[in-house]
Chains A and B, each alone.
Chain A
Amino acid sequence: MIYTLKRLGLAILVALAVSMLSFTLLHLSGDPASAIAGESATDADIAAIRAFYGFDRPLIVQYADWLFSALRGDFGESYYFQLPVAQLIGDRLSITMTLGICGITFAILTAVPLGVAAAVRPNSMIDRVALFISVMGQAMPSFWFGLVLVVIFSIKFRLLPPSGTDGWQNFVMPTVVLGYYAMPAIMRLTRAGMLDVLSADYVRTARAKGASEMRVMFKHALRNAIIPVVSLSAVQMGFMLGGSIVVESIFALHGAGYLAWESIGRNDLPTVQALILIFALFYIVFTFLSDLLNAWLDPRMRVG
């Protein structure tokens, strides 16, 4: 219980610090008022906009104001769409979440079996293939991998749509790209964990008492090796949602990442501000969950 509260307190502090940092960073940019007004605006126009949005107040007052509204779910109004940011983001988040869940599922479903197979026969053919796949995944720029998939599956074979958000077909390639990005770390950890566990005494004992190989693998070995993998996956999920901005913009998938990219181009500060906070919150929530999960699965962790 104390452990949970401590973690929760830390998570809240981190969220506050991130929001403060990103707020300062974006407002250091000079004058948002002249950016909104455009190039042909007169000084009087700019002054009016400054007063309207409250840019003439001290930064700390603006931050406090923004933070208290944000806590109530009000992230201000988008400069570009003239709509409440919360409404704008709400529509897009479900797409990013869907993509994130599909991506992590793809990553786990490929990484864990491959990692286990590699660990069962170290230095075998399958181990080498697994290593090759993970080394490739770490070096491949995800935006380029996405374009290669488009060339193959959309242009050459015309199997999948290259862009858009119309149906499940639009999610296939983004899922593969995002999943492949998260996969190498999960695979390496599964392999290392399995190697560790397979040489443990309790696995030898299980074999000695005559448990079947299947039972040894799944009941004794994998169950213990999977603990760090579960928590890594939660952390990777947080990372992936932040990284979905690249993938969404390649495939013009209209999720929160795509909105972030567009909003940065449009100088739409309230939207960018809210999105940075939301992506940070995703990461914080997933690491928090992974800490709790770890503590629940492995009581030794609760001391920390």
Chain B
Amino acid sequence: MAKTIETVEAALSGPTPGQVLRGRIFGHRGLMFGGVVLAAICIVALLAPVLAPHDPYSQNLLARMQPPVWFDKGTWDHPLGTDHLGRDYLSRLIYGARISLLIGGVAALISGLIGTLMGVAAGYFGGKVDTVVTFIINVRLAMPVVLVALAVVAVFGGSLQVVILVLGLLLWDRFAVVMRSSTQQLRSMEYVNAARAIGCSTSRIVFSEIMPNIVNSLIVVVTLEMAHAILLEAALSFLGLGVQPPTPSWGLMVAEGKKMLLFEPWLIAIPGVALFVLVLVINLLGDGLRDVSAPENRN
């Protein structure tokens, strides 16, 4: 008898919201794949000094352009071969993950701060603030990103810090657009009105009523912009106006391999595939997070 009641109760109560969310996360293939691979890349980047078989900067002119191990002449000493200066390609690839993740992460952080601040202010206050922010967003969208980034890096010199700062200061537009419209939708919600009615300060309303409700879309934009920043850095470095040699940036590795395109196409294939995989898993993670946080938008 007692057992029957328990069963009925279990059937009635169903899974808790936490269980539902966990079920959705673990049941989403793209999200799981993206998350696991991205985590693996992050671990490899963190453990680079331990995992890299060689120093990514040490040159060996006697062992130049050795092919990867799956070619006839490849050896396990350099599993992905060596580049035109005899540097171990695998080690450079591993250290390159650090560069890409660092640039993607910090640039997304800077642009996220700028964009969220502007977007939330525009959405919450409306009126003149909104007009001004919308205008600034329009101006930013009209600036050709690649061209402006190249010109600024040329002026201030291509160090890691400059590239991160330039990308962070250029890529906030999507944050501002998304945060603005999300905040606008929330502004007239009953609980926001209620908070205002009981006399909450603006900062309290923004931080405890608005922010928790837009953090989902914020995370999705963070992933998108991180991927965007990584691709842009690679493009800038490829064009010679990003991170400078001998830093092992993946974009730079493709540029250096381009000279040997005719005979050694694997030199561009390896860093290119690495870039592709990193951006792909970040995008999959972002798409997955969007699906999970708002299942009604799944299509």
Residues of A within 8 A of B (CB): 10, 13-15, 17-18, 21-22, 25-26, 28-30, 122, 135-136, 138-144, 147-148, 150-151, 155, 192, 195, 241-243, 245-246, 249, 257, 260-261, 264-265, 267, 272, 275-276, 279-280, 283-284, 287
Q: Closest CB-CB distance, B34 to chain A, in whole Å?
A: 11
Question: Does the CB pair B152–A25 fall under 8 Å?
Answer: yes
Question: Does the CB pair A141–B251 fall under 8 Å?
Answer: yes
Q: What total count of A-B pairs have CB within 8 Å? A: 133
Interface string of B262-299 (1 = CB under 8 A from A): 10010011001001110110011001000000000001
B151 contact set on A, CB distance < 8 A: 22, 25-26, 264, 272, 276
Partner of A242, one of B144, B227, B241, B258: B144
Question: Does the CB pair B142–A249 fall under 8 Å?
Answer: no
Interface residues of B in 134-175 (CB under 8 A from A): 135, 138-139, 141-148, 150-152, 154-156
Q: Closest CB-CB distance, A153 to chain B, in whole Å?
A: 13
| Number of B interface residues in the complex (CB < 8 A) | 43
A26 contact set on B, CB distance < 8 A: 151, 155
User: What is the bound-complex CA distance between A249 and B277, given in angstroms?
Assistant: 24
Question: Does the CB pair A260–B147 fall under 8 Å?
Answer: yes
Q: Closest CB-CB distance, A118 to chain B, in whole Å?
A: 10
Question: Does the CB pair B142–A284 fall under 8 Å?
Answer: yes
Interface string of B225-237 (1 = CB under 8 A from A): 0010001001100
Q: Is B89 an interface residue (CB 8 A)?
A: no
Question: Does the CB pair B283–A135 fall under 8 Å?
Answer: yes
Q: Closest CB-CB distance, B157 to chain A, in whole Å?
A: 10
Q: Is B261 an interface residue (CB 8 A)?
A: yes
Question: Does the CB pair A147–B143 fall under 8 Å?
Answer: no
Q: Given A144-B272, A246-B239, A276-B147, verify A18-B279 contact (CB < 8 Å).
A: no
User: What is the bound-complex CA distance between A30 and B139, given in angstroms?
Assistant: 25
Question: Does the CB pair B147–A265 fall under 8 Å?
Answer: no
Q: Is B124 an interface residue (CB 8 A)?
A: no
Q: Is B95 an interface residue (CB 8 A)?
A: no
User: What is the bound-complex CA distance between A299 and B231, given in angstroms?
Assistant: 39
A155 contact set on B, CB distance < 8 A: 261-262, 265
Interface residues of B in 86-141 (CB under 8 A from A): 135, 138-139, 141
Q: Closest CB-CB distance, B57 to chain A, in whole Å?
A: 24
Question: Does the CB pair B155–A246 fall under 8 Å?
Answer: no
Q: Is B254 an interface residue (CB 8 A)?
A: yes
Q: Is B240 an interface residue (CB 8 A)?
A: yes
User: What is the bound-complex CA distance between A108 and B144, given in angstroms?
Assistant: 22
- Which residue of chain B has the shortest Cβ distance to A278 in the bound complex? B144
Question: Does the CB pair A21–B139 fall under 8 Å?
Answer: yes
- Which residue of chain A has the shortest Cβ distance to B154 in the bound complex? A264
- Which residue of chain B has the shortest Cβ distance to A269 in the bound complex? B151
Question: Does the CB pair A22–B155 fall under 8 Å?
Answer: no
Question: Does the CB pair A141–B231 fall under 8 Å?
Answer: yes
A-B CB proximity, top 7 nearest: A242-B144, A29-B155, A139-B280, A144-B272, A279-B144, A139-B279, A17-B139
Question: Does the CB pair B235–A246 fall under 8 Å?
Answer: yes
Question: Does the CB pair B276–A245 fall under 8 Å?
Answer: no
Q: Closest CB-CB distance, B291 to chain A, in whole Å?
A: 12
Q: List 18 A-B contacts (CB under 8 A).
A: A13-B135, A18-B139, A25-B155, A138-B279, A141-B279, A143-B235, A148-B272, A155-B261, A195-B299, A242-B144, A242-B147, A245-B150, A245-B239, A264-B154, A265-B241, A280-B142, A280-B143, A280-B144
A141 contact set on B, CB distance < 8 A: 231, 234-235, 238, 251, 254, 272, 275-276, 279
- Which residue of chain A has the shortest Cβ distance to B262 in the bound complex? A155
- Which residue of chain A has the shortest Cβ distance to B228 in the bound complex? A138
